[in-house]
Each structure stands twice: as C-alpha cells, then as structure tokens.
Amino acid sequence: MKFRLSATVVFSSAIGYLLGAETVSLIDICLLLVGGILVTGSANGFNQVVERNHDKYMERTAGRPLPMGNLSVNQALVFTTLIGIIGLYVLYNVIPGGFKSCLFGLLSILLYVLVYTPLKRISPIAIFVGAFPGAIPILLGWVAATNDFGLAAGILFAVQFCWQFPHFIAIAWVQDSAYKKAGFKMMYGREKGKYAAGIAVTTSILMTVISVLPFFYTFNNLSLSVYAIVVLLALGIWFTFRAINMYNKCDDQSAKRLMLGSFMYLPLMQIVYVLDKFLIQ
C-alpha cells in the first residue's frame, strides 16, 4: 500500500475538506481519511502488480513484496481490489459530497493504473498525465465537503497540478539511472538538462502565482489575508529559486534539493491556507 506515501496524498484530501467545509464533521473527515488511504493504497498496489517485473531492477523497489516473491500476483490483485472497493464505499458515505468524491476516487485509480503506469515506459508525458490523479485528492476533499466544484476547487487543483512537475522532474533526475535500468522513460528531453529543468522553473512560477490568486479575488469563499499571501509568496519564491538553481547547475545535488523542497512546500502551503481560514479571517 506504500502507507507513508498514501498518508501524504490523503493529507491533501483532508486539507481540501477543511477548506471547503462550513462546519467540520469529525465523522466525515475520518471517513474521508480512511477511504482515501484505502483508495490510494489500492492504486499503489495495482501499480506494483503492473510493474512487478520492472521493480526488481531498481534498488529502491526491489524489496517490494512482488519482486521478492512474498506475494503471488493473484494475492496482490485480490487484496488491492478489496481495499479499493471498501475505500470507494467509505468515501461514498461522506456527507454531503460522498457520491462525487467516490467518483473522483475511482477516476484517480483508473488514471494512475491504466494510463500513467504504462506511459512511464513509453514517454515522459507520463508526468503530465500523472499530475491529474496526483492533484485529485485536494479536489476530492473539497467536493466531499461541499458537493460542488466551483472555481475554488479549480484553484486548489491547479496549484497541486503544477507542483507535480518540479516534484517528479526532480525525482526523475535523481533516479535517472535507476529508471533507465528498469525501462522507464521519465526524463523530459530524454537526458538530464536545461529542457527538463526549464519545465520545473516554469511550473514553479505558475504554481506560485496561482496559489496567491484568492488574495485578489474570492473564489467560492476561498480567500486569503495579507498575512497568508506574504507567507505563500515567500514559500513559492523559495521553492522557485531551488528550481532555478537546478536549471543553472544541472547537477544531481541541486535536483535533490528541489526534490526535498517539494516534499516541504506542498504541506506547508496547504497548512497556511487552513490556518488563514480558521485563525486569521
């Protein structure tokens, strides 16, 4: 299930719920977390079934249950299918937007497993495709709380969508030799260089701009105070400079710094939104 990764993804769902909810329900947020963990874990499980013959060639993934022979393919399929069905059912019971959040959960599984996973061995366009299921969690949380989409959900989705590019480009850069050994084509421009780093810089700037738009215009009750915009701009500029540093140096060390920065930026940015809503506005 890759529990730590699943928990990180589901964190975005909880943020989306908190930002969308007028009144926070502890029961509903627990259902959202449990359902999200199971659905994300199911997608990760199916991904490992599909990539079982490739994972054994990478040190990072060679110790997974399927390459190690600790699980059969049938056992893995039964497990991932069951937790996926249970997770979708749990999401369905969130009030008021359970049905729509369930659909988003199913869409994220299908995109991740049937489109993103096979594309990784064909073209780095997989990063673009994978950015959609990667950004769905925060949208899923908002819809679960509001039973509606709206521009606010679009803003939150767009920020996380743009974040996927520098995040995964940095990972692909650091893991380039391992990915190539396993047959994955994850690097824009085929080789580590200015083209891939330039995409990381461009999307970092775009992400930063989109993240502060609610200060200038209220989107479905999603707004920002002057305090929040200062912090968000500081975070975005800090992150963008890491991407620029990778563009200038084009080395593994700067890519690793961008990768680590991406793990920090997204949750911090989302926490700022929540704190601004509940403590400042």
9-29 pLDDT, tens digit per residue, is 899 999 999 999 989 999 999
pLDDT tens digits, one per residue of 199-211: 999 999 999 999 9
Based on the fold, state whether residues 31 and 103 are members of the same structural domain: yes
Q: What is the mean pLDDT of residues 88-103?
A: 95
pLDDT band at 1 (very low <50, low <70, confident <90, very high): confident
- What burial class does residue 128 get, using C-beta atoms within 10 Å of its C-beta: 0-12 exposed, 13-18 middle, 19+ buried? middle
Rounded Cα distance between 174 and 253, Å, is 8
Domain boundary among 148, 182, 201: 148
Q: Is the Cβ–Cβ distance between 47 and 103 less than 8 Å?
A: no
**Which pLDDT score, from 0 to 100, does residue 7 have?**
85
Residues of the chain above pLDDT 70, percent: 100
Residue 281: pLDDT over 80: no
Residue 189: pLDDT over 80: no
Q: What are the structure tokens assigned to 143, written together?
A: 């819809």
Residues of the chain above pLDDT 90, percent: 80
pLDDT band at 60 (very low <50, low <70, confident <90, very high): confident
Based on the fold, state whether residues 168 and 141 are members of the same structural domain: no
Residue 86: pLDDT over 80: yes
Rounded Cα distance between 98 and 90, Å, is 8
Based on the fold, state whether residues 236 and 185 are members of the same structural domain: yes
Q: Is the Cβ–Cβ distance between 17 and 142 less than 8 Å?
A: yes
Based on the fold, state whether residues 52 and 169 are members of the same structural domain: no
How far separated are the first and last CA of the chain, in Å rounded?
38
The parent domain of residue 42 ranges over 1-148
Domain boundary among 122, 148, 174: 148
Based on the fold, state whether residues 112 and 135 are members of the same structural domain: yes
Based on the fold, state whether residues 209 and 84 are members of the same structural domain: no
Based on the fold, state whether residues 81 and 136 are members of the same structural domain: yes
pLDDT band at 74 (very low <50, low <70, confident <90, very high): very high
Based on the fold, state whether residues 143 and 281 are members of the same structural domain: no
Residue 166 identity (one-letter amino acid): P
Rounded Cα distance between 146 and 17, Å, is 8
Based on the fold, state whether residues 184 and 271 are members of the same structural domain: yes
Going from the C-alpha of 158 to that of each of 130, 138, 164, 240, 275, the distances in angstroms are 13, 10, 10, 16, 20
* CATH number, domain containing residue 93: 1.10.357.140
Based on the fold, state whether residues 183 and 96 are members of the same structural domain: no
Within 13 Å, how many C-alpha atoms sit on residue 135's CB side? 22
Lowest mean pLDDT among 22-26, 66-70, 189-193, 271-275: 189-193
Number of domains in the chain: 2
DSSP state of 112: I
Rounded Cα distance between 55 and 66, Å, is 9
**Which pLDDT score, from 0 to 100, does residue 66 have?**
92
**Which pLDDT score, from 0 to 100, does residue 167 have?**
96
**Which pLDDT score, from 0 to 100, does residue 96 have?**
92
Based on the fold, state whether residues 55 and 90 are members of the same structural domain: yes
Nearest 5°: CA angle at 236, between 238 and 39?
A: 115
**Which pLDDT score, from 0 to 100, does residue 220 have?**
82
Count of C-beta atoms within a 10 Å radius of residue 117: 20
pLDDT band at 82 (very low <50, low <70, confident <90, very high): very high
Domain boundary among 148, 164, 191: 148
Q: What is the mean pLDDT of residues 35-47?
A: 95
pLDDT tens digits, one per residue of 157-175: 999 999 999 999 999 999 9
Residue 190: pLDDT over 80: no
Based on the fold, state whether residues 229 and 138 are members of the same structural domain: no
What's the chain's Rg over C-alpha atoms?
19
pLDDT tens digits, one per residue of 147-156: 988 899 999 9
Q: Is the Cβ–Cβ distance between 262 and 162 less than 8 Å?
A: no
pLDDT band at 4 (very low <50, low <70, confident <90, very high): confident
